[in-house]
Structure 1
Amino acid sequence: YDLSVGGAIHGCCDVGGRGDGCRARSSGRYPRSGFHGVRRTRGSSGAAWMYQAWAMIQRVALATRSDKSLEVVVNFHTVLVHIKRLASEADPRVPMLERIRAATSSACAVNAVLESDICLSFCGFTPAYSMIGRSVYTGFSPDLATVLCLQEQLDNTKPLGWLGMRSAWAEVMQVLLTQRENARGSAKGKQLDKGQADAIADAAWSRWEPRREKAERWRMQTAESQQLRAERQEIKRRKRVETRARALAREAFCAFERVAALLRREEFSACSAARRAELREKREADLTERRRRKARWLWMKDRSRTMGEILSASRR
């Protein structure tokens, strides 16, 4: 069975079984059913067309049971899309097992579909493009806990290199996964022995051997390009930060100058007001003194004064 969501994932895997990766092919941009997330395959007899819906949640594939009715499978795909949305919106701190189970229960209840009717199967995968040019799959099974455990086992051995990945992959292929009761063809109880598992892993390594050097060179060039891009972005970020800092410093300096100018104007206005008040008081005092002197001068020039007035004025 060709794993693909519109050509997103490629590799051979039986429905409900495990993939040996012996053939890698692309289904093109659209699946043969004409709908994204819906696959069309032949039935077990090779006569009737069967449809199957599936979706991806991070690195876990969800597949429904096969059905002859496209309308039923499209309805199943609607449920899968709902499950994917609920699982993506859930708290990432919650384990994937609990998120998918809770999302499945909620989506089936909302869409009025029984979980026993949709018959979900799960398959986890670990990217191993630098080693064998493709991903390593756990195989399909309705037992989500086992699938996630096998996927975690593959993820933990990936940093150890090909030897660790090969050993873990061979162990995963030897595990007998629980299958659906209505699984078709060789998906029922398919299990590999150690020799077959080692042969599949070695064949995958050998097939990628001619292109490994080119892929490694491309990976190194890509890493170098990403590093250069990251350095350029860091330089641009620093320039933006420096430009912003200079702009903020310029704005702060201008604001300080405006405040200082305002304070100088207020101080000058206060000094000017005090000076004007002082001059006004001085003018009023001078005016009063001139009036007093003028009045005294007029009084002294007055010929109608009597001796008593002169004596009383001298005593004052």
Structure 2
Amino acid sequence: MTTSFRSSGDVLADRRYEYASAAFDEREFEAAADLARQVLELAPRFAPAHALLGRAAAKLGLQDEAAQALRRALELEPEDVLGVRLDLARLGALPPDEAMTDGYVRALFDEYAPKFDRHLTKSLAYCGPELIADALRRACSRQIRDCRFGLTLDLGCGTGLMGQALDGLCEALAGVDLSPRMLEKASKTKLYHELHEGELVSFLKGRADAQADLVVAADVFVYMAALDDAFREAHRVLKRGGLFAFTVQAHQGEGFVLGADARYAHSESYLRRLAEENGFATLILDRVSTREDRGVPVPGFLVVLQR
């Protein structure tokens, strides 16, 4: 994970950290590790240097040193804005379902916000919101009902791309996201009646029973391992007949896995089990791709459930 420049409080340490980062980016991992160790001699409590040392050591196959450095970074910054829990999970030193924290996701998207829309739609060919909106139209057509909704809850609304895809279909739109910078972008769309900063399950728990017609989550569950709580709360806040529409990355096995792309992927059997256990009827479960990774479509699922 890249982060904005932070100072260790020591000018020489900062300069060596910049050299270490550049060496890592050039895949000169031995030099990066050596420079990171020099940084830590000058600034032993500088968490980014511990994280960089851990990542470089892991690339060199120095598993014990990597895990020790990464754990020290996590001790110094428990909110894990550096995302070292992901590295620990890759080393097998942490369970995969504990690899992401709200602090990591918030920091990731705060930094990503200024270039988010252009990068996602242009570089990654992202089309999740459009796929969800189209699936909702198909689901409503099959049931011979108007594709119009009252209160709609947009989970992980980001900059508002999902809100734009639903423009004209919802009487009221409430969004939630961990990243304040993403929410600033969403507010500029003028499409949201409410915007909340926070974690999506907590947001749902704060809503009244049976108040929403639609809950959507476009490429949000890729940052969550278990989805049990999200399914349960989505069912609770929906009115009878209300829809729950979302996309995930696809896993061909059972349950869910943390992928090499630092995103979670969920299996079809897992999604169907959660739907059944929570009282949802499955209207649509299609194999799709919502984005590309280096020009290759990333396999996923597009799901529409009905309460």
**TM-score band w.r.t. shorter chain:** under 0.3
TM-score under structure 2 length normalisation: 0.26
Larger radius of gyration: 1
TM-score under structure 1 length normalisation: 0.25
Tell me which protein shows more helix as a share of its residues: 1
Tell me which protein shows more strand as a share of its residues: 2
